[in-house]
Amino acid sequence: MKLAGILPFARDILQKSVTTNGIAIDATAGNGHDTEFLAKLVGDNGTVYSFDIQDQAINATRDRLEITNLEKQVHLIQDGHEKLETYLSPTHHNNINGAIFNLGYLPGSDKSIVTTPSTTIEAIQQLSKHLKKGGIIVLVVYHGHEEGKVEKDMLLPFVESLPQTDFHVLEYRFINQKNTPPFIIAIEKK
């Protein structure tokens, strides 16, 4: 396939927005793949804040960072991303280059632990405030499970209402695939 798949597309966008020495957020660490990716993008002197509420995710991410020798530039935070602002160092305010959310549940883990619309929206609100100009938030929306559908239905009107004067908002999805595949919402600060 020549068209970028969902995950490669997400990484393309992050790569465009997250620079060496930059500030990035992995809002849902999960198994740590995106935290590792962001830590490489920002380099030794950049910063990644990586959030997850589950032990399993935090431990998996920590292990991955140790193996790849990337712990130094990552703040691993076992707390909800809706509290992002309380963890952000004042020097990083209004200075975030990029952020990613992989919504839904962690495959192979407790499927009752899912991201929820109100906390996801709260985190996006805080993040959009602290993005720098040209900074991008990427949301990978998994809506094949019941709560995911509810989340999608609340998220779309919210992102569609972000003012055009301040943000570019994009949806990227394959429209002929079965089994409700994930899709992307990207929000760029003007």
Query: For binding to ligand SAH (CB under 6 A), which residues are involved?
Result: 28, 30, 51-54, 57, 80-82, 102, 104-107, 113, 115, 119, 142
Pairing of strands 96-102, 23-26: parallel
Q: How far is the CB of 162 from ligand SAH (least distance, A)?
A: 20
Burial of 17 (0-12, 13-18, 19+ CB in 10 A): buried
Closest distance between ligand SAH and the C-beta of residue 108, in Å?
A: 9
Q: Which is nearer to ligand SAH, 36 or 52 (CB)?
A: 52
CB 100 within 8 A of CB 26: yes
How many whole angstroms separate alpha carbon 89 and alpha carbon 86?
8
19 or 172, CB closer to ligand SAH? Answer: 172
| For ligand SAH, the closer CB: 19 or 181 | 181
CB of 2 to ligand SAH, least distance (A): 23
Alpha helices in 19-173 (DSSP H): 33-42, 55-68, 84-87, 117-130, 146-160
Nearer to ligand SAH, 73 or 126 (CB): 126
Residue 19 to residue 103: CA distance in whole angstroms: 24
| Least distance to ligand SAH, CB of residue 68, Å | 19
Whole-angstrom CA distances from 22 to 43, 54, 70, 98 are 8, 26, 15, 9
- Min dist CB 84 to ligand SAH, Å, is 9
Shorter beta-carbon distance to ligand SAH: residue 97 or 115:
115
